[in-house]
Structure 1
Amino acid sequence: MPFIEESDLLELHKDIDKAQIINERLLDQIKIKNKELKRSKVQRNVLAVITGLFLVGTFGITTYTAGLSTSNSLENRNNLLVSIDSLEAHKARIDNLRKQNEELSLVKEFYLAKSFLDKETIYSVQVKSFVDNNVTLASEALTNTLFVKTNPFYSYSLGNFETLQEAQKFRKQLVNLGFNDAFVASYKDGKRLQIEDPY
């Protein structure tokens, strides 16, 4: 075996001690770094969990709020649609009532005119007479139509004229249209008075 001098051995021990001290310091530094890494890893994990929880909470709140606003928005839209529908229904009803009012005022005017005409002598052009009561021939559109029972016939006359000349002129137009048997008659109180001169 080789021989080592004591001074070399002491130097070697010193070097070993120094190396051991350096190793212990390095181990202490590694332990400190490991603790720091563990701490930063734990902090990172805690921060990640907190961030995740915050994001999930924010997403949940946003979704819940959006759901409420959507449901409120849908309710508002439904209420608005109901309001618009009911508004349209009211408008349609008002239009319908206006139309009925116009029709009633026309009917009222017709009956006022008819009651006036019943009291006055009027002239009309008789176009047809039937044995049977054939009311289907009387048109609702022809407001100046007279339907009078002259025993034993039912007669249909067109036009309500104040003067005999107006009725004669209208009779001439009807004859030109093909009503060759048309004649002028005078009426009062809804009854025929007499057959007038056609010319």
Structure 2
Amino acid sequence: MPFIEESDLLELHKDVDKAQIINERLLDQIKIKNKELRKSKIQRNVLAGVTGLFLIGTLAIFSFSAGVSQSGSLESQNTNNLLVSIDSLDAIKARIDNLKEQNDELSLVKEFYLAKKFLEKEKIYSVQVKSFVDNNVTLASDALTNTLFVKTNPFYSYSLGNFETLDEARSFRFQLVKMGFKDAFVASYQDGKRLAIEDPY
């Protein structure tokens, strides 16, 4: 096993901590968006229910008042009904506009989640530092979100870092080699499976 200088180990821990902080922030943003999405859906459903009840109530009042009211002239009844109808239409139009705005906001949140799912399907690069016969490894902590512990028949591989580009992974591999991990190499992964071992240069 190669020897690691304490300063190099501290730098490596700092890089891991930075990546963890970024991942935690992204998870917090996702949780906030989920809450907003749920709240908007509930508000939209409640508003739709209230609007439906309002329309049913308005129709019931109109039909009731038309059947019961026998006093007064036909003209005054039509004028009163017309005034109530205009007020009701304005309220319904305002609610429809509000629902359209909420629908636009929900579309933006939906696009965010679709982009996130797309990124999860993308190819990433990581630097493999060790292979093990079994998966009983204390290094594979759930707290380290930028590590990969993948079954690559017949072994389990332990990789550090999650990089979008091959150049970033190669740079990280170079730092690990300088620290003593002479056998470290870059591999590409997708959906939690290793695709290929990449050229180190």
Shorter-chain TM range is 0.3 to 0.5
- Relative to its length, the structure with more helix (as a share) is 1
Q: Normalised by the size of structure 1, how large is the TM-score? A: 0.42
| Greater length-normalized contact order (CA 8 Å, ≥ 6 residues apart) | 2
Rg larger in structure: 1
